[in-house]
Structure 1
Amino acid sequence: MLDNCLLIDNLCCFRQVKQEEMHALYKGRSAAVKEDMVPSKQSEMNPFLSLSQFVLTSGQQAIQKHSKISYFEVEILDAQTKKQICVLEKILPSFTIADVKHKFHKAYPQWYPSCVGLHQECAGPLLKETEVIKNLAASSIITLYFRDLGTQVSWITVFLTEYTGCLLLYLLFYFRLLNLYGMEAISHRSCHPVVNLACICHSLHYIKQILETLFVHSLSNGNTALKKMLKSCVFYWGFTSWMAYYINHPLYTPPSYGNRQIIPAMVCFLICAAGNYFANTAVVQMHKTGTKSHFVRPTYNPFTWLFKLVSCPNYTYEMGAWISFTIMSQTLPVAVFALMVSLQLVFWAQRKHCKYQKDFKNYPSYRTAMIPFIL
């Protein structure tokens, strides 16, 4: 009996232990389930929280971005009197001088953008229309000086007017449409072959210039003052009339050495005219490719080989053409015109040569501006 009582007690204790273990295991599982349920609720809330945070942060970023936008005020003064004309407000940093001119035109409709010249300094150079305002700003207020440029004309109009006038004026003298020599002189006219050759060469030169202006040169949309165009036309037209008057005069004296002087000079003139055309074409092709990191180099065309020695062979050929025309015609007006044109070409060539040396670090040191090894 005692053994049976002990066995019963042991079974009771074992059952109690098992119940306690099962109860503890149940509590652990329920706690684990509760712990698992909490993150699931948080995970359901995460998209909403993320969306809220995105809206709030994007709003803050938009406010910060808007607060970073700064405007400039452009004060425009008269370049002569230095009195204030106006103040243009809310000028964005990305605005160019062209945009400022258009805004100035809205305030003062009588001043067209093409007639407005703006300087950063009173006696300084004109600012380019592509210049960005933020590059000129030392503070939030920018002071610019206004100058009236007068009536403006496009560059293509300038060149066509100059060249067409020279062509027509020479032909007027050649065909004696202007009665400048008198009837007696015309009746005793003795036309030398060199007079005809001079007319052909002169006409070919300006016809080439007109065609290049229309179809070769990529002229910018810039303008120049009408006064400058008139001065240029007076210069070219005046010299053309002077040359044509003497070469086509009934008492004109042909060159001293006859055909031995005329033929080589004419051949040299034609070669220089062709070289000028091909050099201009090479420059235009380089600009059209948009490779500003490269300068013009010689091509397979022999007329472009002069690029090995000079920066502006088109000016070299131009000067050579007028020197050849001087030798062929042997007249003082042509010699004076060739000298004046050569001086102008040398000035332009030196300016371009200095620009090339500044822009390109690997620019050939042996190149000169216009005349090989000399200038």
Structure 2
Amino acid sequence: MPQCFVPAMFRKRKTSTPEHKRDFHGSALTAPHNDMRTFFSLSQLVLSAGHLRPPPVQRHSKTTYFEVEILDAQSKKQICVVDKIPPSSTLLDVKHKFHKVCPQWSPSRVGLRLERNGPYLKDSVNIKRLAASSIITLYFTDMGQQVSWTTVFLTEYTGPLLIYLLFYIRLSSIYDAKESARSLRHPVVHLACACHCLHYVRRLLETLFVHKISEGHTPLKNMIKGCAFYWGFTSWIAYYINHPQYTPPSFGNKQVTFAALVFLMCEAGNHFINAALVHQNQSGKLTSFPSPSINPFTWLFTLVSCPNYTYEIGSWISFTVMTQTLPAGVFAFLMAIQLAQWARKKHQFYLKRCTTCRWRKAAMIPFIL
């Protein structure tokens, strides 16, 4: 039969589905399935990475800086304000910054105190320990020209060594040349020179190689006082002992020999005590009172706190007995007074530091002082 004509508008339109949009049966669309696979893969990736963590909070460190107000100790007028001082700074750091503001005062001659009449603060003090608030008020005092402790000791001990030798050779400007040529020297004169030189040579060597001297400074006027004391007494002692009219000791060689042996023993004891103190300080064993060792010269630690001062006084007393001169006796007496004051301060310091040791121990002289 002839086919009927169907108009185009009534014809069924054939739609062809692209291959990439067919489902497993070849007719359904696959685009939603691909979306599901993408979402599933993304979910697995997120779960395998673990829990999502918030980004770390950045904490900004807040450092508290101090301001140091420096006032004149006499007039109470403000000299300057040193700001932005970190808490870890020491007083020496403050002095260096103060020097930058006021170049006419070097750190060595700057003395700072919390109170006008209070004690001077040490350079090693942490600035945080002084702070009651963010502003610290310190009082300034000009300490004058300063010199190091090493310079002080070397100057004080080198002078007596050279001065005594000048008197020993009997310079014509000091003694009469004719009288010096006629008189014969007693053996004690040579022995006294040897003992005197030995004492100060030992002190110089210990200053250079044994003692751990502080890196601090002291006013120049203190060094002048010390030099005047040591140099002046050395000149007085050496003048009498090396004088052509010098009279030997009353008991002769027995007195000289006994005193010389005691002098050498005291010199040896002084050296061993100084070495023991340095060793105990470096090893950290000095927790209370200094302790003796197997060295017999250190056994004096069981009776006194400062046996080095005991031996020092023993040296000068024996030197006085050996030479039998008044200047040496006066020098030994004044040295004993000064050393006794230092020994008492050290003894009190040991007592404060020691919490368990309270036995009766003297400062310098056994059972007396």
TM-score, normalised relative to structure 2: 0.85
1:194-343 → structure 2 map (5 Å cutoff): 194-291=188-285, 293-343=287-337
- Deviation track 1:83-138 (CA, whole Å, cap 9, x = no partner) reads 11001111122211011001111111221111111111111111000101111111
Query: Mean alpha-carbon deviation: is it higher for 221-230 or for 364-373?
Result: 364-373
Question: Which of 104, 115, 120 in structure 2 is aligned with 1:126?
Answer: 120
Name whichever of 283-292 and 119-128 sits farther off.
283-292
| 1:362 to 2:364 alignment | no
Aligned residue among 81, 98, 120 for 2:92: 98
More helix by share: 1
Gaps of 5+ in 2: 1-39
Task: Tell me the alpha carbon deviations over residues 64-99 of structure 1, each in whole angstroms, 9 at most, x when there is no partner.
Answer: xx23x2111100011122111001111122211011
Identity %: 58
Q: Per-residue CA shift, 1:215-258, capped at 9, x if unaligned? A: 11111211111111011001100000000000111111111111
Which residue is 1:86 aligned to?
A: 80
Residue 346 of structure 1 is matched in structure 2 by: 340
Secondary structure of the corresponding residue to residue 213 of structure 1: helix
Structure 1 residue 155 displacement after superposition? 1.0
Contact in 1 for aligned 2:288/2:353 (Cα 8 Å) = no
Residue 113 (str. 1) matches residue 107 (str. 2) = yes
Q: Is residue 147 of structure 1 aligned with residue 141 of structure 2?
A: yes
Q: Report which stretch shifted further, 284-293 or 334-343.
A: 284-293
Give the conservation status (yes or no) of the 8 Å contact 2:266–2:314.
yes
Paired amino acid for 2:242: N
Shift of 1:352: 0.5
| Paired residue type of 2:251 | Y
Indicate if the aligned counterparts of 2:289 and 2:305 stay in contact, CA closer than 8 A. Answer: no
Using the alignment, how far apart are the partners of 1:146 and 1:135 within structure 2?
18
How far has the Cα of 1:174 moved from its partner? Answer: 0.5
Measured in 2, the distance between the counterparts of 1:226 and 1:203 equals 26
CA deviations on 1:15-45 (whole Å, 9 max, x unpaired) are xxxxxxxxxxxxxxxxxxxxx9999676457
Give the number of aligned pairs.
330
**CA 1:136/1:283 → structure 2, altered by over 3 Å: closer, same or farther?**
same
Contact 1:78/1:145 (<8 A) preserved: yes
Look up the equivalent residue of 1:91 and give its one-letter code.
I
1:293 Cα offset (Å): 2.9
Specify the SS of the correspondent of 1:153. strand
In 1, the alpha carbon distance for the partners of 2:50 and 2:72 equals 64
* CA distance in structure 2 between the partners assigned to 1:367 and 1:43 by the alignment: 78
Q: Note the C-alpha offset of 1:187.
A: 2.8
Deviation at 1:178, TM superposition (A): 5.1
Q: Is the 8 A contact 1:356 1:363 kept in 2?
A: no
Distance 1:300 1:259 in 2: 34
Answer with 289-298 or 336-345: which moved more.
Answer: 289-298
Q: Could you tell me how far 1:183 is from its partner in structure 2? A: 2.6
Partner of 2:22: none
What is the deviation of 1:366?
Answer: 2.1
**Do the aligned partners of 1:115 and 1:148 also contact (CA within 8 Å) in 2?**
yes
Query: Considering only aligned residues, what root-mean-square deviation do their CA atoms show, in Å?
Result: 1.8
Aligned-residue offset at 1:328: 0.6
Unaligned runs of 5+ in 1: 1-35
8 Å Cα contact 1:172/1:178 also seen in 2: no
How do 1:32-111 and structure 2 match up within 5 A?
Answer: 43=47, 46-47=50-51, 49-50=52-53, 52-53=54-55, 55-56=56-57, 59=58, 62-63=59-60, 66-67=61-62, 69-111=63-105
Distance in 2, Cα, partners of 1:70 & 1:272: 56
Higher mean displacement: 287-296 or 271-280:
287-296
The answer on whether the counterparts of 2:288 and 2:350 sit within 8 Å (CA) in structure 1 is no
Q: CA deviation at 1:184?
A: 3.4
- Structure 1 runs of 4+ with >6 Å offset: 36-39
Question: Following the alignment from structure 1 to structure 2, what is the Cα–Cα distance between the partners of residues 93 and 365?
Answer: 42
